[in-house]
């Protein structure tokens, strides 16, 4: 049974990712790429679909003998997760990470802190998103003169078709058919290390991972990314002053230095006997949700008066974690940025809005380029820029909104034979939306390249020729219906936001010629820009409502209209924009302050129900508040959104206020980009 979405922590090696639950189970892991078939897929099913559990035995039993509490945090500015388990008076620390060198692997260590704790390990290896069980063989290490086997050189190798896994550790779990379990007791001062490597089955297993070397290098790589950015408030400080305000150094992290959140999971059997899968108890869904609620608190909107004492340091930390999320979800091989690490986590639990987000949206990649460049990450900005050019080169005259991680086109959407997260169907692999033209994608790419030029990033023969091709194709899209940036499944409409993004594309092309000396048909582009401006103001703005509207001639609004000021079509405090914000507050805003993307009037988006509050849209509103002179309101909304993020600062795509839980794919790139922008607006 999967945990709450917000109970997961992200691990990444910048090529793929894994999700670790608060209960100590790795329930999602695709190898070797973000979009590969899952090795562990219990997130969308149960443990028989693959998982790797490593937790105190006490925590998985239905009758508690000792109180079990957990505390978890990332090592400073990394994706190295540390979870401290307290079992009565005893405690252990589990460290989970994916090495940033040496192939695709997950490393887990258990360190005894106080007393003795019996740990349970359950390794269920699968391939093809839970469909295939590998054939597993145990290879023992050499025996000494007494016949004792050197366990440190033993390994389990699971193989099926092109895929293979090798497990190594200080104890080797027993079992068959890909299901292996064992128990072991950890005393204070003891340390057990385990690793799982994915490799192609036609190759030999990779060499064992040296724990000390791997964690030192991985820490250094994450820290190098983090240290490139120094917040404006401390930019003038000396190195000693900067060090003084950072969080606790890695070596000082202990059970006392992490953030505590009691789960109250139970325990039993202390004999240390191996437990088979059929013997291993599961906590039922209702009980788990009741227990997990102790780790989440209802989001409570702050008032402007309370905001006056808000510590800006928490905003800076949230921004840095969001920048780290972007780095974690950019493929170091291809430069593609995936929208999330998961597929088919439902936007409404039990509903059908379940999509595969392990793809790269042109819009997201372009928006990410702006924040990476603004925060000093020129190398990653270049990666993203080169990815966009390769993707667009598929066919700039037939631009898609979504591409594969390497920039490939893949419009084949498949259904996976998995139960689904809390039985939410369907479970999808692939994204069929990439064959539809979306005006926002074309516009965002051109707007971002204009920002790069303004910041001194020059064009080359390939980049500008591709942009000209995009502009020429855009001239044929004026007034064309599409599915909006939200990719609705209902009938296409002429969306005001889509047309505004085309306006921004032509505006960017004109500035490239007039201000940067590039060649192009500026006369045609100016005609297109002016025509779009006239159409948007006459059909996309409702004078009676004093508001821009969702579709030409419509009366409703949606959150995408908040981007009109972002692209410079109107100023942040333009009366028409302020009127639009007032309309959004009236129509889309929840009592918490967060907003919906749109109201699904009469199944407008192709579904019958209303989806949940949207993280990114809410953060766009917070940014608009701040930039239009309503800073107190912006801070209040920013606080509300941060209270809905999980304890590690991670956000999915949506949030259910009624159920006090995150929904949708996780963690969501667009939400974290929007958070960076909102904090950046504060200039702190």
Q: Which domain holds residue 195?
A: 5-295
Cα separation, 638 vs 654, in Å, equals 15
Mean pLDDT of 220-228: 83
pLDDT at 5 over 90: yes
Mean pLDDT of 212-218: 96
Mean pLDDT of 525-543: 97
Predicted local distance difference test score (pLDDT) of residue 243 = 23
- Of 137-146, 285-294, 310-319, the range with the highest mean pLDDT is 310-319
Predicted local distance difference test score (pLDDT) of residue 303 = 56
Cα separation, 68 vs 177, in Å, equals 31
pLDDT at 187 over 50: yes
Predicted local distance difference test score (pLDDT) of residue 1 = 74
Give the max Cα distance, the chain.
Answer: 91
Predicted local distance difference test score (pLDDT) of residue 63 = 62
Predicted local distance difference test score (pLDDT) of residue 492 = 93
Residue 188 lies in a domain: yes
Least confident of 221-225, 231-235, 304-308, 633-637: 231-235
Q: What are the DSSP calls for 395-421, one per residue?
A: -GGG--SEE-TTS------EE-SS--G
Residue 397 lies in a domain: no
Beta bridge partners of 195: 107, 168
Least confident of 236-240, 599-603, 677-681: 236-240
- Position of tokens 């994916």? 98
- Of 233-242, 264-273, 392-401, 483-492, the range with the highest mean pLDDT is 483-492
Residue 549 lies in a domain: no
Residue 70 lies in a domain: yes
Cα separation, 133 vs 275, in Å, equals 20
Element containing residue 132 per DSSP (H, E): none
Residue 49: closest CA among 136, 161, 133: 133
Structure tokens at 183: 């128990």
Beta bridge partners of 105: 197
What mean pLDDT is reported for the chain?
88
Cα separation, 25 vs 48, in Å, equals 13
**297 falls in which pLDDT band (50, 70, 90)?**
very low
- Position of tokens 């209960």? 23
HSE-up (13 A, CA, CB side) for residue 312:
14
Residue 163 lies in a domain: yes
Predicted local distance difference test score (pLDDT) of residue 142 = 78
Residue 363: closest CA among 471, 489, 481, 448: 448
Predicted local distance difference test score (pLDDT) of residue 395 = 81
pLDDT at 102 over 90: no
**231 falls in which pLDDT band (50, 70, 90)?**
very low
Q: Phi first, then psi: what are they for 610, rounded to 5°?
A: -95, 135
**225 falls in which pLDDT band (50, 70, 90)?**
confident
Predicted local distance difference test score (pLDDT) of residue 242 = 22
Q: How far apart are the first and last CA of the chain?
A: 42
Predicted local distance difference test score (pLDDT) of residue 60 = 87
279 vs 194 pLDDT, higher one: 194
Q: Can you say whether the dihedral through the CA atoms of 233, 238, 241, 246 is positive or negative?
A: positive
pLDDT at 669 over 50: yes
| 539, burial (CB in 10 Å: exposed 0-12, middle 13-18, buried 19+) | middle
Predicted local distance difference test score (pLDDT) of residue 397 = 85
**214 falls in which pLDDT band (50, 70, 90)?**
very high
Q: What is the DSSP letter of 295?
A: G
**319 falls in which pLDDT band (50, 70, 90)?**
very high
Residue 90 lies in a domain: yes
Mean pLDDT of 326-355: 96
**532 falls in which pLDDT band (50, 70, 90)?**
very high
Predicted local distance difference test score (pLDDT) of residue 461 = 83
Predicted local distance difference test score (pLDDT) of residue 197 = 98
Predicted local distance difference test score (pLDDT) of residue 145 = 67
HSE-up (13 A, CA, CB side) for residue 388:
29
Contacts of 484 (CB under 8 A, 6+ apart): 438, 440, 493, 495, 497, 498, 550, 558, 560
Mean pLDDT of 292-310: 48
Predicted local distance difference test score (pLDDT) of residue 398 = 85
Mean pLDDT of 138-164: 85
Residue 42: give its domain's CATH number.
Answer: 2.70.98
Mean pLDDT of 117-124: 97
470 vs 433 pLDDT, higher one: 470
Least confident of 112-126, 287-301, 346-360, 566-580: 287-301
Predicted local distance difference test score (pLDDT) of residue 264 = 31
Structure tokens at 277: 């899968």
Predicted local distance difference test score (pLDDT) of residue 62 = 64
Interval 582-592: pLDDT, tens? 999 999 999 99
Q: Phi first, then psi: what are they for 339, rounded to 5°?
A: -70, -25
Interval 258-292: pLDDT, tens? 333 333 333 333 333 443 443 444 444 444 343 34
Interval 599-619: pLDDT, tens? 999 899 999 899 999 999 999
Angle among Cα 474, 479, 482 to the nearest 5 degrees reads 85
Predicted local distance difference test score (pLDDT) of residue 294 = 38
Total count of domains within the chain: 1
């Amino acid at each position: 049974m999967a945990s709450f979405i917000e109970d997961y922590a992200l691990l990444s090696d910048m090529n793929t990712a894994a999700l670790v639950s608060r209960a100590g189970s790795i329930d999602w892991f695709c190898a070797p790429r973000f979009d590969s078939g899952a090795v562990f897929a219990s997130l969308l099913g149960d443990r028989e679909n693959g998982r790797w559990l490593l937790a105190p035995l006490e925590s998985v039993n239905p009758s508690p003998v000792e109180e079990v509490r957990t505390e978890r945090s990332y090592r400073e500015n990394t994706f190295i997760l540390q979870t401290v388990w307290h079992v009565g008076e005893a405690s252990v620390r589990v460290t989970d990470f994916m090495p940033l060198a040496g192939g695709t692997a997950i490393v887990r260590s258990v360190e005894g802190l106080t007393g003795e704790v019996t740990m349970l390990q359950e390794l269920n290896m699968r391939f093809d998103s839970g469909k295939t069980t590998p054939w597993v063989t145990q290879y023992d290490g050499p025996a000494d003169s007494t016949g004792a086997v050197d366990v440190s050189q033993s390994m389990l190798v699971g193989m099926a078709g092109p895929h293979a896994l090798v497990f190594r550790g200080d104890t080797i779990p027993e079992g068959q058919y890909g299901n292996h379990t064992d128990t072991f007791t950890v005393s204070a001062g003891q340390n057990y290390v385990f690793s799982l490597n994915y490799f192609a089955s036609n190759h030999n297993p990779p060499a064992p991972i040296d724990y000390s070397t791997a964690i030192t290098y991985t820490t250094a790589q994450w820290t190098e990314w983090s240290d490139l950015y120094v917040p404006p408030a401390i930019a003038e400080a000396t190195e000693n002053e900067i060090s003084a305000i950072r969080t606790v150094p890695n070596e000082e992290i202990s059970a006392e230095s992490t953030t505590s959140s009691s789960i109250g999971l139970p325990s039993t059997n202390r004999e240390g006997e191996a437990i088979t899968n059929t013997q291993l108890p599961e906590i039922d869904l209702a009980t788990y949700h009741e227990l997990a609620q102790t780790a989440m608190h209802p989001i409570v909107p702050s008032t402007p008066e309370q905001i006056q004492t808000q510590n800006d340091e928490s905003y800076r930390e949230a921004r840095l974690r969001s920048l780290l999320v972007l780095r974690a979800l950019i493929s170091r091989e291809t430069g593609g940025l995936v929208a999330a690490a998961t597929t088919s986590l439902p936007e409404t639990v039990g509903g059908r809005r379940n999509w595969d987000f392990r793809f790269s949206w042109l819009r997201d990649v372009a928006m990410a380029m702006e924040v990476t460049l603004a925060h000093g990450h020129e190398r990653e900005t270049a990666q993203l820029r080169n990815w966009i050019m390769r993707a667009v080169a598929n066919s700039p005259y037939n631009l898609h909104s979504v591409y594969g991680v390497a920039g490939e086109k893949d419009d084949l959407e498949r259904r996976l034979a998995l139960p689904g997260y809390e039985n939410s169907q369907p479970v999808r692999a692939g994204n069929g939306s990439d064959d539809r033209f979306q005006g926002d994608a074309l516009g965002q790419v051109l707007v971002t390249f204009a920002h790069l030029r303004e910041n001194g990033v020059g064009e080359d023969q390939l980049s500008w020729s591709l942009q000209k091709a995009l502009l020429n194709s855009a001239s044929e899209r004026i007034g064309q219906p599409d599915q909006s940036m939200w990719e609705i499944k209902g009938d296409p409409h002429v969306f005001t936001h889509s047309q505004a993004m085309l306006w921004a594309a032509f505006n960017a092309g004109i500035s490239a010629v007039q201000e940067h000396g590039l060649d192009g048909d500026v006369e045609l582009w100016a005609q297109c820009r002016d025509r779009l401006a006239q159409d948007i103001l006459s059909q996309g703005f409702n004078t009676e409502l004093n508001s821009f509207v969702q579709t030409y001639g419509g009366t409703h609004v949606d959150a995408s209209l908040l981007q009109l000021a972002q692209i410079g079509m109107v100023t942040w405090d333009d009366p028409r924009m302020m009127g639009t914000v007032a309309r959004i507050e009236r129509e889309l805003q929840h009592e918490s302050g967060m907003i919906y993307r749109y109201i699904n009037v009469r199944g407008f988006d192709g579904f019958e129900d209303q989806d949940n509050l949207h993280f990114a849209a809410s953060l766009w509103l917070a940014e608009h508040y701040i930039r239009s002179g309503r800073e107190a309101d912006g801070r209040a909304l920013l606080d509300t959104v941060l209270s809905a993020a999980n304890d590690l600062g991670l956000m999915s795509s949506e949030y259910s206020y009624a159920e006090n839980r995150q929904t949708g794919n996780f963690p969501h790139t667009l939400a974290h980009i929007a958070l960076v922008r909102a904090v950046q607006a504060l200039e702190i």
